[in-house]
Structure 1
Amino acid sequence: MTLLASAVPAADPSCYSRTVNEWWCEAYVSDYRQELVDATTQHLLITVAAIGLSIVIAFPLALLARRVRRLESAILGVSTALYTVPSLALFPLLVPFTGISATTVVIGLALYALTILVRSILDGLRSVPDEVRESARGLGYAPAGQLLRIELPLALPVMLAGLRVATVSTVALTTVGALVANGGLGNLIADGVRTDFKAELLAACLLCVAIAVLLDLAIVGLQRLTTPWTRTGVAA
């Protein structure tokens, strides 16, 4: 029995075991597939929800800043000041009102995105030539119709450029939600750093990059669909 047991080769340790702990480990991805899927899904949902909420807040603020010029500095100043608040302070400040939940992270990230979105929406609306506005009024467009049918389509390239920056930034900032246990892939990154789990850390980081790239490409595709006149090679 002893001879037989010694003849059987010992199994190689896993590439993510404590004795090996490699950076690239396909076995980890396979064994922890569901954990990675759940974290990626949460990360994506939090990012999209935060950007959506930020757009809902930023759009009326930009319209107000354009209509009432004396409020522009205050609106831009407040939105910029919010971005300077450290996430280590902002999320705990929200917890008494929203609890330790994904809502806390969504609200915090939406406030951070205002810095970029308010400015880009305002710049986009101001990029519309005055002659175009005058022509629209001459054709009988009401203010709401002029905004929706004339100004917004022409402002979209500038606005979507700002949305791309805000989205990629939010994908990165979502990881900070690990402070309240709702950071999506940030939870895995924090665990990987704490335990020196290299495979977990690398996989989570690569998935963050993948989310950012995919969302950026989605916005580029949206821009191409909604502003066909901006494509190069389109006949005049």
Structure 2
Amino acid sequence: MLHIIPVLDLKDGQVVRAQMGQRDSYRPIVTPLNAGSDAVAVAGGLRTLFPFPTFYIADLDAIEGRAPNSEAIARLATMPDTPELWVDAGIADAQILAATLAEPSLCPVLGSESQRDDSLLKRFRGHTGLILSLDFFDDGFRGPAALLNQPDLWPQRVIVMTLAKVGSATGPDFARLREIKAKAGSRSVIAAGGVRDEADIRALSSLGIEAALVATSLHNGMLTAKQLALLGR
């Protein structure tokens, strides 16, 4: 069975509820798992369902060119049973990427939407900590075409991020995942967007998907503690 990785979307220091890539409309999360929208509190609430060893962090402020949520990310990195943090912070600079790769608990996510060209990927693709996110919006792929069309540039882990599916409860983008999986060879492919329930998790696993980034179905109870224990990863 594939790994389930909870998502924390950060904006103005708080976890927000993502909805189909419409970032201007994101508001602080309301969840039965904990009180408030503090990042560490939300992560702790998610861990009441399952002892997740990894979290995916979308630093929306950094992605959109504002001051990064560094303090919230630093606090997440010092939680008990220190999680591995996959962090998309709009990195498009070699010095920042190298510094992030040097942090033991951080795995930088190179989002295609933030890249000007393929130079960072060419330079760092061999680093085991690097993750590539292929970002798809309503208007299609966002980023340099070389990142999508040259799978030989891809690192070992590749996220297929379908923003229109995020928070939509419409199911994963199975067609696109099959397409990327066919190109990826032995690389790990991670699904992001639209995961609703255990049936979706099992369907993704049957496609050979390594992991799924999940938020809504954890907070609304469609994936329960019992199901997560049975899924076991």
Higher helix share: 1
Higher strand share: 2
Fold-level similarity (TM above 0.5): no
Q: TM-score range by the shorter chain?
A: under 0.3
Larger Rg: 1 or 2?
Answer: 1
TM-score calculated relative to the size of structure 2? 0.24
TM-score calculated relative to the size of structure 1? 0.24
Larger relative contact order (C-alpha < 8 A, sep ≥ 6)? 1
